[in-house]
Amino acid sequence: MTEWHEKRHGLEQRIADWTSRTGFTISVRDDLGHLNLRGDLGSPGFLAAAEETIGQPLPQAPNTISDGDSTIFWLGPDEWLILTPAEKAANLADQLESSLSNQHAATNNVSGGQIALTLTGERVREVLAKGCALDFHPQVFTEGRCAQSGLARANVTIGSIGGDNKFLVIVRRSFADYLLAWLDGVA
């Protein structure tokens, strides 16, 4: 069955064409699996069960990231995005389903539906500001912050993680080709 783990995101050509530019590079994070988790923090036991299963805290402050073996984005008061090594995603989804089976919760493995991009470089904040209305000032969009917003004409989740000028941008798979074309144009 292993051959099916070879991922095809349809962006191979774009990435192959992508040359590292002054102050700005981009890579497709094939190594990450994506889980969407919904749950009620007010419900007894939800938080404990979820955190025990994942092995790290769920961020509760709006627009923050919890970083550990997995990278967890706060998406809403009852919604999180868990980025985890791709090979573990299906397993973690199953574990969450079972540990939260007596909770009002929902787990969806969305690894196939989203593309994560890493954007790095001195001018990455400037590139993001061209397409997104959020404030990317280094003292405002600090490391560990995330947000859902629009980048150009695509909906994205953006997180600052792993360094001052390093961002994860997560986009729906069907919009990824457009977004890369846009990034190529403005970068």
Partner 1 sequence: MQVNRLDKGGRIDRSKPLKFRFNGKSYEGYAGDTLASALLANNVSLINRSFKLHRPRGIIGSGAEEPNAILQIGKGAHTLPNRRATQVALQEGLVARSTKGWPGVRFDIGAINDVFSRLFSAGFYYKTFMFPQSLWNLYEDLIRGSAGFAKAPKKPDPDRYEHINAHCDILVAGAGPAGLMAALAAARSGARVILADEGTEAGGALLRSDEIIDGRPATNWVETIATEIRGYEDVTVLKNSTVFGYFAQNFLTITERTEGPIRQREWRVRARQVVLAQGAIERPLIFCNNDRPGVMLASAVSEYIRRYAVLPGKRAVVFTNNDAAYQAALDLHSAGATIAAIVDSRRTGAGDLGEQAKAAGIPVMPGHIVTNVSGRKRVTGVKIATWDGATEGMVDESIDIACDLVTMSGGYSPAVHLHSQSGAKNAWDDSLSCFVPGEAVQACESAGAGNGRWSLRDCLEDGARAGKVALAKAGFDMPDIAVPAASSQAVKPLEPLWRVPAAQDPDRCPKQFLDFQNDTSVADVRLAVREGYRNIEHVKRYTALGFGTDQGKLGNINGMAVLAEALGMSIPEVGTTTFRPPYTPVSFGVCAGESVGELYDPVRKTAVHEWHESSGAEFENVGQWHRPWYFPLPGEDLDAAVARECLATRKSLGILDASTLGKIDVQGPDAVTFLERIYTHNVGKMQNGRCAYGIMLGEDGMVMDDGVMARLGDNRFYLTTTTGGAAAVLGWLESWLQTEWPELEVYLTSITDQYSTIAVAGPNSRRLLHKLSCSVDLGNENFPFMSVHDAELAGIPVQLFRVSFSGELAFEVNVDSNHALPLWQTLMDAGEEFDITPYGTETMHVLRAEKGFVIVGQDTDGSVTPIDLNMNWMLSKEKDYLGKRSLSRPDCLRTDRKQLVGLLSEDNTTVIPEGAQLIEDLSAPEPVPMLGHVSSSYMSACLGHPIALGLVAGGWNRKDEVVYAWAAGCEPIRARIVSPVFYDPRNERQND
Q: Cβ closer to partner 1: 40 or 52?
A: 40
What is the distance between the alpha carbons of residues 143 and 147, in angstroms, rounded to a whole number? 12
How does DSSP assign 23-38, residue by residue? TBEEEE-TTEEEEEEE
- Helices and strands per DSSP (H, E), number in the chain: 5, 10
Smallest distance, partner 1 to C-beta of residue 156, A: 12
Q: Cβ closer to partner 1: 60 or 155?
A: 155
Residues that bind partner 1 (CB under 8 A): 1, 3-4, 6-10, 36, 38, 40, 78, 104-106, 108-114, 126, 129-135, 137, 140, 152-154, 172-175, 177-179, 181-182, 185-186
Smallest distance, partner 1 to C-beta of residue 138, A: 10
Q: Are 48 and 34 in contact (CB under 8 A)?
A: no
Q: Kindly state the helix (H) or strand (E) to which residue 16 belongs, with its residue range.
A: helix 12-17
Q: Are 106 and 40 in contact (CB under 8 A)?
A: no
Q: Cβ closer to partner 1: 68 or 77?
A: 77
Q: Kindly state the helix (H) or strand (E) to which residue 174 belongs, with its residue range.
A: helix 173-186
Smallest distance, partner 1 to C-beta of residue 121, A: 17
Q: Cβ closer to partner 1: 9 or 67?
A: 9
Q: Cβ closer to partner 1: 68 or 137?
A: 137
Alpha-carbon dihedral of residues 152, 157, 162, 163, nearest 10 degrees? Answer: 40
Smallest distance, partner 1 to C-beta of residue 110, A: 5
Smallest distance, partner 1 to C-beta of residue 153, A: 5
Tokens of 62: 């709006």
